[in-house]
Structure 1
């Protein structure tokens, strides 16, 4: 098979490319380079520059590279931005996906793997979120991911595509320093930025219904995210009737305050102490995965703990700063 990986020059996408190529899969990357970079693309891997909104480009890429499967990671992912710009998020994430699926169907692509998000769940009142937990997204970003899952499922059923949607939780870490997250949108790089500037890390709200009042999340190493994509791609390749929806998580909750403490310990920068600021719109109190179904379906389990995530991310940060 030859897999098209959209968003393959980005943070998560480049790790998926690494895992799949090292696993012996043939891949082609499509990326508009809005957040991805050419430097992340390995030598010898074709890079097509453009957006999934460009149907003519998609038709050419799918035809010229004889694509038989797609791993779709391209999209916009900032919760607060989605609240402020819902039309933009629906265009990029839903219309972009619809366009890609239409091109895939016309090109005879038979496998489709969609990178979804735990944001589809919203704020579930459960200790562990299973794939059967009702989805009630709290932001336009989460809505676009849930709509994307519905679209992938419907198109798969109607046109005979094997499909999988992977709902991953809070991503951190890096396989190598060169592939570390260059954006400052997720908690770990946000804290790195503040600490290295001599500024207090910010904690967005301490009045949630959690043990220490700060949000609780299931942090997952990006290498584990990538290995789950490889496992899912292989399952789709071997099972033409697959229609999977799976969590990717560790099943362990870590609060924001706990995570900041780990970061300060590993960086060796204990001061200044964190400051509490207002809640961010769309942030649920607790979201922790049940990872039982992905273990049963794919034989996959996370390998890395929180300290490994932070240590690898810190190596990448210090390389660039």
Structure 2
């Protein structure tokens, strides 16, 4: 692996006052090309522009996928990654579905650690903030023929991550537009999954909502995801979440919350969740809370759910609510404040 250091850091104190997610990029990025049927030597170089032509394959056929991760800084200055092996496994699962070459472990994991070590000064020390990590693979062949590309690029870039949402969200149940269908790419972090979501999300925002709860494409009767998050519903003392399928992303945060909840003695059921079931539970008082989870947001409770022409106002979040409790426990593991009984926290060693 070759490392090209930036001549002068762009890091200033006001970077850590950033309020916009994903807009302040650190000094370096990792770049690795795939050509002649093999991955080349990865290079860590100063963050900046990469030259492509308008004929770049990814622009026309969407052969692109990515991951979302974070680096956290503990009280003593140590920097940690959170379950990076899961992201390595998932990006290659996404790449396989999109007919792209798998990333070798030494490029993804070793390259990631080297990049974060080099830019460790960019990892915020403030609790609640982190350094967001975006690994991405995209097709680069200069061709507009409708076939899979023969060349690709793998890049890891990082950006300051403030709190993603700072208030409970109002969400609307989708009853026309769909995020994913059986046999599709819903389980992959394909770039096109997100591009197709912006229009219906914009319509929901025009009605006063923050995000969309995606439902099954066939009947729009079952909860699947919420915006870019997995979704959990607490009815009485059971925590429900939709089962993983080829329509639903196998979220690292989702999996971690399930394991944390079970360690806390909470009952978790992975099963289909009917929209009508949630509505009825809200009507009879057994619906306690609904929240979304993901790398960027960690966990965010919902305050209201739009359903057909109705709006379900959800119970107020209290100290007894499970969502905030689970978020606090996960954050304390991520920042090195609490013991890590699961072995999720990975120290980025200094070189």
> What TM-score comes out, normalization by structure 2 length?
0.25
Q: Is the strand fraction higher in 1 or 2?
A: 2
User: Looking at CA atoms only, which structure, 1 or 2, has the larger radius of gyration?
Assistant: 2
Q: Is the helix fraction higher in 1 or 2?
A: 1
